[in-house]
Structure formats: C-alpha cells, structure tokens
Amino acid sequence: MAEEPKTNQSASKSIIWLSVSEAAKIGGVQNKTVRRAIQYNNVKYKIINNRYLVDFSSLVSYLHTTTKLKNKFNQLGLGQYVEEWK
C-alpha cells in the first residue's frame, strides 16, 4: 500500500505577486512609495523580465509599519473594505 505524500503547509501556500502599480493601487499609496520599499528591502520582491513583482503579504505588513501608511491603506486602499485584520 502506497502512502500519500505529506504536503508541507508552507509549500502548498501560494504567494500572490503584484506589479508595482497594482501594489500601489491596492495599498492606496503612490508607485514611488512601493519602489522605495523595494529599494530598502522592506518588502519581499522578485524581478521577472525587468519588472518588479511584490509579495502581497509583505506589502500589507509594510503598510502597517507606520501610522501614515496604515491610514492611507485603510482610507484609500484595500483596508477600507476589511473590518478587522488578523
């Protein structure tokens, strides 16, 4: 009898990658804010075909680091549609 392979939970978790402009729209900030976060390694990113792709979860974490970014996220970005973050 063959055993079913055990899946690692983190391996099965799919990462959502966003372009800089998508990340800025979702975050309620400008493109240069996202690019600055990439420059200072505040978000997880990868480069494909000379385009930056930003990890969604690290973007949300970064946007909760300061009060100013958090307010922009909650008033202009995706946060306006979420009642409470986990």
Domains and CATH numbers, the chain: 16-79 (1.10.1660)
At 85 the pLDDT is 66
The answer to whether residue 18 scores a pLDDT higher than 80 is: yes
Question: Confidence band (pLDDT; 50, 70, 90) for 5?
Answer: very low
Instruction: Round to whole Å and give the CA distance between 48 and 12.
Output: 22
Tokens read off for 27:
């975050």
Collapsing DSSP states into helix, strand and coil, what is residue 63? helix
Instruction: Round to whole Å and give the CA distance between 41 and 6.
Output: 33
Q: Does the predicted TM-score (pTM) go above 0.85? A: no
Adjacent-strand bridge partners of 19: 53
